[in-house]
Amino acid sequence: MTVKGLPDELYKLCNDIFLECDQFGSYERLCSFCRGHQKLYFLKLKLKRASDLQELYELNLPILVESEHEQYGWIFPTFLEALKQACPEGDARRGKLDFLSVKVKELRNQAQVCLPQKPNSEQRLFKSLLRIDFEEQEDLVKQALDSQTPYKKTAAFLVHGEEKFGQETLVTRLSQLPQLRNGRQVKIKACGMNDISNLWDEVAKYLGIANQSAALSAEQIIDAICQILQTQNLIFIIYEVNRTYLGFLPELLQEFWQLIIDKIYQKNNKETYLVMFLVDNKGYVCKSGVSLAWQLNQPEYPQIPLYLPPVSRFPQRKLQEWLGMAQAAEVVPESLCAETLLVESQGGVPELVYQRICHYCGSSWEGKLAQWLIQ
């Protein structure tokens, strides 16, 4: 057996040294060793069981060599240093591990060790996380999009629920539906807006048509929107609608959204989709009295947004289903289980689940992942 990017000579050296170390005496010892070191902790869920010591080494050396942590980087040199520190002073294994560390660092400097392709592995993880649960909301959005007449492909939705329940992640998933893929997205935070003109100004800036000398009129901005819709889908994503003043949302619907719809319906030549997602991170909007469509066949829809089922905690069954697929695709460690995720995420709070999964995969939800999802 060989390890990707690791020369045979170095592979044999690792074999000879590791099999002298107590930590490779069993799967349990190796896991316990990693669990006892903060920087190695994430490895414990990646390690594989084996029927004998040689198989234990052969199955787990690739994991040790190729693993990289979001914060700590390439983990193999750290593992070697931890092994050395576990040996008593004067132990011959310390010298062997020092020699091995030097050889490994030389290989790294020569770019001969095939380290994990971090952007690719992270992207696979990110895309996989999008598939956890939320089928009910996705099915309703698909139904709404498919029910549109050929030249009036317009839809609006309220995405809502409690804080940290994955609203932004759901919107990212919905924006990538086949009907909307490769659409142009306009992402705006409504927080702090005190007049509908603020929204028009932000849209103009996002579309790259803002005039520095004077604000564009709503009609001018709508003309630009119609021009975009000649060739591509346009998706408005308006975040933090729960943090606006009481009368702002009715104004948004009447003096922004409905104005746009009326204009594009007049042209009657649109084959692309115009979609708006209103994102509520507190679950306030549906209780505020703002007009919502509760059924797809409601006459006012899509002039008013369709109420989607609120996002909620991930149930154990959904986590188990996702883990089965993610583990088969080698996206997450085989030993990660739904019970662990539920215990560590306050019973399945979506963003806490994402955080724990990323932790066990050596990545970071708060870092690149969250940015990638909502960029």
- The three-state secondary structure class of 290 is coil
pLDDT band at 183 (very low <50, low <70, confident <90, very high): confident
Predicted pLDDT at 116: 46
Mean pLDDT along residues 290-303: 94
Number of Cα atoms under 13 Å in the Cβ half of residue 227: 8
- Residue 8, pLDDT > 80, answer no
Determine the pLDDT at residue 268. Answer: 57
Domain ranges of the chain: 8-109, 118-128+314-374, 135-307
pLDDT of the residue at 365: 84
Which pLDDT score is estimated for 269? Answer: 61
Pair of tokens at residue 346: 């306050």
Mean local confidence (pLDDT), 124-145: 94
- pLDDT tier for residue 240 given thresholds of 50, 70 and 90: very high
Cα separation, 181 vs 57, in Å, equals 45
So what's the pLDDT on residue 368?
62
% of residues, the chain, pLDDT over 70: 91
In this prediction, residues 79-107 reach a mean pLDDT of 89
H/E element, 237: strand 234-239
373 confidence band (pLDDT: 50, 70, 90): low
Please give the pLDDT value at position 5: 57
Q: To the nearest whole number, what is the mean pLDDT of the chain? A: 88
Mean pLDDT of 104-128: 67
d(CA 287, CA 293): 13
Distance in angstroms (rounded) separating the CA atoms of residues 58 and 3: 9
What does the chain come to in residues?
A: 375
Identify residue 9 by its one-letter amino acid code: E
The percent of residues above 90 in pLDDT, for the chain, comes to: 54
**What HEC string does 17-51 produce?**
HHCCCHHHHCHHHHHHHHHCCHHHHHHHHCCCCCC
Q: Does domain 135-307 fall into CATH 3.30.720.200?
A: no
Q: Give the mean model confidence (pLDDT) for residues 258-271.
A: 83
Neighbours of 95 (CB within 10 A): 12
| pLDDT range class, residue 128, cuts 50, 70, 90 | very high
Residues 324-341: pLDDT tens digits? 999 988 889 888 999 999
For residue 302, say if its preceding peptide bond is cis, omega within 30 degrees of 0: yes
Torsion angle, alpha carbons of 133, 135, 141, 147, to 10: 170
Pick from 161-175, 269-283, 354-368: least confident:
354-368
> Helix, strand, or coil here: 315?
coil
- Predicted confidence band of residue 372 (pLDDT cuts 50, 70, 90): low
Q: Annotate 182-233 with DSSP letters as a single string.
A: T-EEEEEE-TT--SHHHHHHHHHHHHT---SSSPPPHHHHHHHHHHHHTTS-
State the pLDDT at residue 34. 92
Reported as a single tens digit per residue, the pLDDT across 196-222 is: 999 999 999 999 888 766 789 999 999
